[in-house]
Every structure is written in C-alpha cells, then in structure tokens.
Amino acid sequence: FFLFYYGLLIVGLTMGKFHGIQKLAISTMVLGTVVFLLSAQIPTSRNVVFDLGKTEAFFISFSDGSKCLINTGRHFPNNQAYWIIRSFLMARAVHKLDGIILTDLNAVHAGGLRTILDYVRTNRIFMASGSDNSDKMKKYVAFRRKFKAIQEGDRIQFGSNPDIYIEILTVSKNRITSLFINDRNQKVLYVLSADS
C-alpha cells in the first residue's frame, strides 16, 4: 500500500504539466487512503492489569465504550491509586468510569478509592455483600457514597448490550475471588485468589 501511495504521490508532483494525470493520481491517492483507513480494524476492547506488587487492579474498556476498574490499589505508603492508576486513566482521557468493583475492603484493594473518586466520575461502586458493615468498610471507604452489594452469581451489566457484563463467580469470606468478564466475543476469567 505504501509503495503504491508514495509512487502515486511522486507521479502527481512530477507530472504537474499534465493536469489530467495529476488529478487522476491525487484522486487515486485519496481513494486509496480512505479505503485503507476504513478497512483498518479498530480494537474492540482493552484490558490492562496494573503492576502493583501484591495488589490486584484491573482496568476494562468494553467494546461499547463502557469502562470498569476492579480495585483501586493502595493509598499509603506509595499511593498507587494516584501515581499509577490515576495517571493511566488521565493519559487515556478516561474521566468517567461506569463501575468500580472492590473485591475486598482492605488497604490493598480499596485504599485508593477516595483518590480515584477525586479525579474520575463513577456511576456505581460494587463490593461483596456482607462487607458493608465491617470495620474495614468504616476505615477505608467510610464516606457518604452509595455502594451496591453483590454476591455469587450476580451479573453486572455494562451498556445496553446483553453480551457485555461481568459475572461474579465466587465469593469467599466477604471477598470476591473470581470474576467472568464477557465482552461479546471476548471472554476473560479473572481469578484473584486460588483459595478453596
């Protein structure tokens, strides 16, 4: 394609005295460029696992444009939520999340929630049922915000397409331990813990 494109560009520039050939060359270049760009496959979804040491954090951009963050990283001592996750979201112009799923309410998984909420609008925040009255809830995410409790078998729908969702597969001791992410033809099994 590029040999063809640049060949026609050279012909178009050097054959200035032949107006018909020049017009044909430019028209062919424009048509070739349009066909090339329209036939390029646009990525449908994107999944990013953050390298945060022992912390699990996972960003999903679904094919319909919905975005979800699983866990928010630590706040103290190195503020992973600010330096890594927030930086990633801002670099990709993500100013709104359709959901945040907290797999456990502790400093490792939910410590950076306030930081993320300071910089990114979020529609819904999910956590395992039974953890909303725990001491961890009061310590790490104790502020006025609506949380939705979820349990095994629950399905979180993103957008209007029924084939775009996250299903909660297992919950153990008020912790979400595995998720099934379905984005039309792309399927991801996300296992956070190999406990029984």
* Coil, helix or strand at residue 185: coil
List the single range of 46-50, 69-73, 130-134, 182-186 with lowest mean pLDDT. Answer: 130-134
Q: How many residues does the chain have?
A: 196
Q: What is the pLDDT of residue 122?
A: 92
- Taking the C-alpha atoms of residue 187 and residue 130, their distance in angstroms, rounded to an integer, is 28
Whole-angstrom Cα distance, residue 105 to residue 131?
7
Amino acid symbol at 169? L
Give the pTM: 0.74
pLDDT at 152 over 70: yes
pLDDT at 41: 58
Cα gap 33→28, rounded to integer Å: 8
In the prediction, which pLDDT does 132 show?
Answer: 62
Do the beta carbons of residue 137 and residue 107 sit within 8 Å?
A: no
- For the residues of 143-179, what is the DSSP string, one character each? SS---EEE-TT-EEE-SS-TTEEEEEEEEETTEEEEE
Single-letter residue type at 97: L
User: CB of 132 within 8 A of CB of 111?
Assistant: no
**pLDDT tens per residue across span 165-193:** 999 999 988 899 999 999 988 999 999 88
Which pLDDT band, with edges at 50, 70 and 90, does 38 fall under? confident
Residue 162's pLDDT is 93
> Is the model more confident about 69 or about 30?
69
Cis peptide before 43 (omega within 30 of 0): no
Q: Of residues 117 and 12, which shows the higher confidence score?
A: 117
Q: In whole angstroms, what is the distance from residue 146 CA to residue 136 CA?
A: 16
With contact defined as beta carbons under 8 Å apart, do 193 and 54 qualify? no
Lowest mean pLDDT among 111-115, 133-137, 145-149, 163-167: 133-137
For residue range 98-123, list pLDDT tens digits in order.
999 999 888 888 889 989 999 999 98
Give every CB contact of residue 47 below 8 A, 6+ residues apart in sequence.
58, 59, 60, 61, 181, 188
pLDDT digits (tens, 9 = 90+) for 52-100: 887 789 999 999 999 999 999 888 788 899 999 999 999 988 999 999 9
Collect all residues with Cβ–Cβ distance below 8 Å to 154 and sequence separation of at least 6.
167, 168
Model pLDDT, residue 169: 95
